[in-house]
Structure 1
Amino acid sequence: MQRYFLPPEQFQQATQTVTIEGDDGHHLQRVMRAQIGDEVICSNGVNREVRVRITELDKGRVIAEVVEELPMHAEAAVQVWVAQSLPKGDKMETVIQKGTEIGAARFLPFLSERTVVQYDAKKEAKRTERWQKIAKEAAEQAHRNRVPEVEGLHTWKQLLQRAKEADVAWICYEKEDGQQLKPAIRDAVAAGKLGSGKKVLLVVGPEGGFSEQEIQQAEEVGFRSVSLGARILRTETAAMVGLTCLFYETGEMGG
């Protein structure tokens, strides 16, 4: 069943109706060819998700009545924030789309020493808006209850400061020859750091990886460097592998 994330103000509690408009209303009418009587799922992305039946179709505007209140149990117990050093081309879009499908709660793009993408402040707001839209569409496709937030671009120093907000902070480092991610996850579970409501910050570097100085700086503020295995992964693959390993080990993927 088609799913839409809507602002809370489009849910009318008194009349038990929902208004679907803007891009979502256009998509429902023009792309999905919706008819009166069709049913879709609408979520406010916070605390309410409902199955609704369409009662009125107007130009770019759809009115639907609430048929059923639905439980919200599609989100992972552990909140995983993916910090991704800005990669080339459209790779960031892939990270956000696939990371959202897997279950990431937040994305933090950042600049690091070996980032090769040229930062353009004039394009920053528009680019972040596009990334947020990709997260919304991926969350709808994956039947999630919430849309991950895509934050604005961080500097390296700003990113390091975010470690204090997390219960666990890991930085993926291809030269790490001691700590693998799997035992690191199990140690964190045993220490009670990966229970319900806990936050994990998973940091992935650019195409050229992190410098030794950056790893040292990260470890000084509380990050722990971990390896994703013996093979070198592309930057857009690393976040997906890390997310999948984490959710598997914490029982979010049928474990």
Structure 2
Amino acid sequence: MEGDAAHHLGRVLRAQAGQLYELSDGQKVWLSRIESVTRDRVQFALLEELPAVQSNLNVTLLLAVVKFDAFEWALEKATELGVGAIVPLAAERSEKAMLVAAAKRAERWKKILLEASQQSRRLSMPVLDGLAKPEIAFASHKEGLRVMLSERTTASSLRRVLQGQRAASAVLAIGPEGGWTEAEFASACKAGFSEASLGRRILRTETAVVTALASLNFALGDD
């Protein structure tokens, strides 16, 4: 290992010879032992291949930008739950100050995705797309199961929407805490999204992310 990763491991984490770490090259995960540590290089011995987690379900998460502590927690948990791609949404009711600052957070968000991928022993991190308007994001996803979480009383339960589904891919849209606008509902409906409710309780955005993704994984058979 060389470069910034080696510097962080050796100088910040004070890694020493003999310590065990898990390493991944994007295809396999190995249990490894540090053999030597220098200024910008850490040398490992590969001991054994470990089972890696790779989702059988390809999920894209369309997630409205909310306050960054909640948004970043949601990114971390979505990664642990196996999403393949994340698209931050500039929803009408997202806080405008958050949208202005979002472009500057991209590198931080990628770091969160990387660390969560490593923690959950994923072979690769999710793809993080750029900030998008909801109507554009909805229209660009035309395949697989498409679900939009909704607080409207007319929405079917997520359990009912998922009942009997056998999709290998899914798109999940989760709005800001102020909810979707009528125009956003209309554009999602036009793009083939089904409205789904998580029940009568009012959930924070990050709570809805975990609840809905876990439900998708269970219903669609992600092992």
Normalising by structure 2, report the TM-score. 0.89
**Paired residue secondary structure (1:163):** coil
Q: Which segments of 5 or more consecutive residues in structure 2 lack a partner in the other structure?
A: none
Which of 214, 238, 251 pairs up with 2:184? 214
Match of 2:96 in 1: 117
Letter of the 2:164 partner, please give it.
D
Partner Cα distance (1:132, 1:65) in 2: 28
The residue correspondences of 1:171-182 to structure 2 (distance < 5 A) are 171-182=148-159
Which of 12, 17, 23 pairs up with 1:42? 23
Deviation at 1:251, TM superposition (A): 4.1
How many residue pairs match? The answer is: 222
Partner Cα distance (1:156, 1:108) in 2: 10
Match of 1:65 in 2: 45
Match of 1:103 in 2: 82
Deviation at 1:64, TM superposition (A): 1.4
Deviation at 1:176, TM superposition (A): 4.5
Question: Cα deviation per residue 1:200-232 (whole Å; 9 max; x = unaligned)?
Answer: 110001121011221122111111111111112
Q: Which segments of 5 or more consecutive residues in structure 1 lack a partner in the other structure?
A: 1-18
Which of 37, 40, 62 pairs up with 1:83? 62
Q: Which runs of 4+ in 1 moved over 6 A?
A: none
Q: Is the 8 A contact 2:157 2:197 kept in 1?
A: yes
Deviation at 1:252, TM superposition (A): 4.1
1:138 and 2:91 equivalent? no
Partner Cα distance (1:70, 1:162) in 2: 37
Matched-pair identity in %: 33
**Paired residue secondary structure (2:164):** helix
Partner Cα distance (1:89, 1:32) in 2: 26
Deviation at 1:153, TM superposition (A): 0.6
Normalising by structure 1, report the TM-score. 0.79
Match of 1:154 in 2: 132
Q: Is the 8 A contact 1:21 1:62 kept in 2?
A: no
Match of 1:186 in 2: 163
Question: Cα deviation per residue 1:79-111 (whole Å; 9 max; x = unaligned)?
Answer: 211111111242211110121122222211011
Letter of the 1:101 partner, please give it.
E
RMSD of aligned residue pairs (Cα, Å): 2.1
